[in-house]
């Protein structure tokens, strides 16, 4: 099935990034164009949909729709919580996505130089070429700023349980 039909029918898929990276993402694609792929993430542990992610489309080698067994694994189909929440018409490349995410409390960014580490923070500054994040560590402590070149960003995650958990720690301990 063509991706436009998969998007229209909101069919959950697995997106395989091999051989580029050893990653498979699962969720429902909300938008796909030559530059980016935006989807609501499926959390394999909790078996519910959990936040959003944006990846570079050139990294996607293949995708496949979920089979019946996989569809039955969804504990609580909360996918409708994520539909029509993003201004998809304004999100056509990484820069435009970051522009729309400027008011997000936290985002997670992976860049192409290192698959194992990532930055979590709030957008402080944004230019056509780079984004500056005010970084938050795993203990919900603000630890300084990091500039990341937009062309090197391979993944942006936001509104997932991970970012929400970090935010809750800040709220619980405002002195952090």
For the stretch 120-166, pLDDT in tens is: 999 999 999 999 999 998 888 999 999 999 999 999 999 999 999 98
CA distance readout (Å), 72 to 14, 23, 75, 161: 15, 23, 8, 22
Q: Does domain 1-86 have CATH number 2.30.30.180?
A: yes
Q: Delimit the domains of the chain by residue range.
A: 1-86, 93-176
Helix (H, G, I), strand (E, B) or coil at 43: strand
Q: If pLDDT is split at 50, 70 and 90, which confidence band does 68 have?
A: very high
Whole-structure pTM value: 0.92
Mean pLDDT along residues 53-74:
93
Under 8 Å between Cβ of 49 and 82 = yes
Q: Which fold has domain 93-176?
A: SH3 type barrels. (2.30.30)
């Amino acid at each position: 099935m063509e991706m436009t039909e998969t998007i229209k029918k909101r069919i959950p898929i697995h997106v395989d990034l091999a051989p580029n990276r050893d990653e498979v993402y699962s969720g429902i694609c909300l938008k796909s164009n030559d530059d980016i792929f935006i989807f609501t993430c499926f959390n394999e542990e909790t078996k519910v949909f959990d936040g959003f992610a944006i990846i570079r489309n050139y990294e996607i080698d293949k995708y496949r729709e979920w089979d019946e067994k996989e569809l039955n694994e969804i504990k609580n189909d909360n996918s409708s919580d994520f539909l029509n929440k993003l201004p998809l018409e304004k999100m056509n490349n990484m820069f435009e996505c970051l522009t729309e995410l400027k008011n997000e409390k936290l985002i997670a960014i992976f860049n192409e130089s290192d698959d194992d580490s990532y930055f979590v923070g709030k957008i402080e500054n944004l230019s056509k070429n780079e984004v500056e994040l005010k970084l938050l560590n795993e203990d919900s402590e603000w630890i300084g700023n990091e500039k990341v070149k937009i062309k090197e960003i391979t993944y942006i995650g936001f509104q997932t349980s991970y970012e929400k958990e970090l935010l809750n720690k800040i709220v619980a301990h405002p002195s952090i």
